[in-house]
């Protein structure tokens, strides 16, 4: 179990990676959608992606990074998360995301 410490607009927060459902780029801010709520930070999605690179998170779209453990379904260029949120998957990433999701279901993927 990995943790990250970030200075969010709401204050400094230590998050366990399993608590993060997905991360969204929205209006020049990054929103962390977690089990415990939302946190906002001014960083690029690319920077956040590098921080989580070894934690198994997937960049599924130019605006989204998702925790594969929270993915319930992948279908028709979308993923549904355990909490019911539906996120788009870019055409360029769809085959990779679908393959990794299937690998995760079979127990072969590296878990965050």
pTM of the model: 0.88
Sign of CA dihedral 33, 34, 39, 44: negative
32-81 confidence digits (pLDDT tens):
999 999 999 999 999 999 999 888 899 999 999 999 999 999 999 999 99
Domains and CATH numbers, the chain: 3-105 (2.40.50.1020)
pLDDT for 93 beyond 80:
yes
**Mean pLDDT of the 69-98 span:** 95
> Burial level of 64, CB count in 10 A (0-12/13-18/19+)?
buried
What average pLDDT does this structure show over 76-96? Answer: 96
């Amino acid at each position: 179990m990995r943790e990250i410490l970030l200075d969010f607009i709401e204050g400094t927060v230590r998050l366990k990676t399993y608590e993060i459902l997905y991360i969204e780029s929205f209006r020049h801010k990054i929103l962390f959608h977690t089990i415990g709520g939302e946190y906002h930070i001014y960083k690029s999605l690319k920077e956040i992606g590098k921080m989580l690179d070894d934690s198994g998170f997937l960049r599924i779209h130019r605006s989204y990074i998702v925790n594969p453990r929270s993915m319930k379904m992948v279908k028709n260029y979308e993923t549904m998360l355990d909490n019911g949120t539906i996120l788009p998957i870019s055409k360029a990433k769809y085959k990779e995301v679908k393959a990794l999701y299937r690998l995760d279901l079979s127990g072969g993927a590296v878990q965050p």
